[in-house]
Structure 1
Amino acid sequence: MKSSMVGVLAAALALGVPGAAMAHHSAASFDRSKPLVVAGTLKVFEWANPHTWMTVTVPDGKGGSEEWRLEGPSVSILARNGWKKDSVKPGEQVRLLVAPNRDGSKGGEFLTVKKADGTVLKFGIV
């Protein structure tokens, strides 16, 4: 009886895992075929899972500014590519290669980051 309970529990867990994995979104909301450069001041770098995030204040060309919210990969992917939680800091001037949101909103996926000192940070896509 005990071994059949273990089998039922194992089956239930196995069935639940694909559902959790499928709940994660794809990158379909980003247009990787039309990368663009976004340059501005880093406001926030969120070093967290399941995705890292940057908020960048970008001049709008009219004397004002706009915020771009940019998604990145997980902490583990960035760490495997040499990033640390303090690789970029609020207040830094950055130029990012971005796969923009398909819906035209001010955001997307950051692909590379070029810091003012010339350092380029990337994570394998580009």
Structure 2
Amino acid sequence: MSEFSKAIGVSSSGLKAQAHRLRIVAENVANTDTPGYRRKTVAFSEELERSGMAKVALEKVALDRHAGERIYDPGHPMADQSGHYTGSNVDLIVEIADAREAQRSYQANLKMFDQARQMSSGLMDLLRK
């Protein structure tokens, strides 16, 4: 396997991982006002292939263990005897920061992918001459 295809493989695995992370962040933002919703988090690990190339691997999606906010609304259908119910534990500031970080990582992987593709194309042009 050539070094160019290894670089493209690594960057494409990073693209997939960050795209998945952005989907999780979008799901969290969409459920900010859903009572009882627990924020989802995703972790990455390094996966070594037979060829010796390391790629980004997704670990399982986990739920944030922090308790949701207790909200007083006696008229809410999920309220208990004291008039409280548990809201979601999603913090929009944290989600915006995670989305921005995932977006920048995605852009970096895309730039690396494009650079490897351009270098490979340039090498082919040189070999044709």
TM-score bracket for this pair, using the shorter chain length = under 0.3
TM-score, normalising length from structure 2?
0.27
**Which of these two proteins has the greater Rg computed from alpha carbons?**
2
TM-score, normalising length from structure 1?
0.28
Q: Which has the higher helix share?
A: 2
RCO higher in structure (CA 8 A, sep ≥6): 2
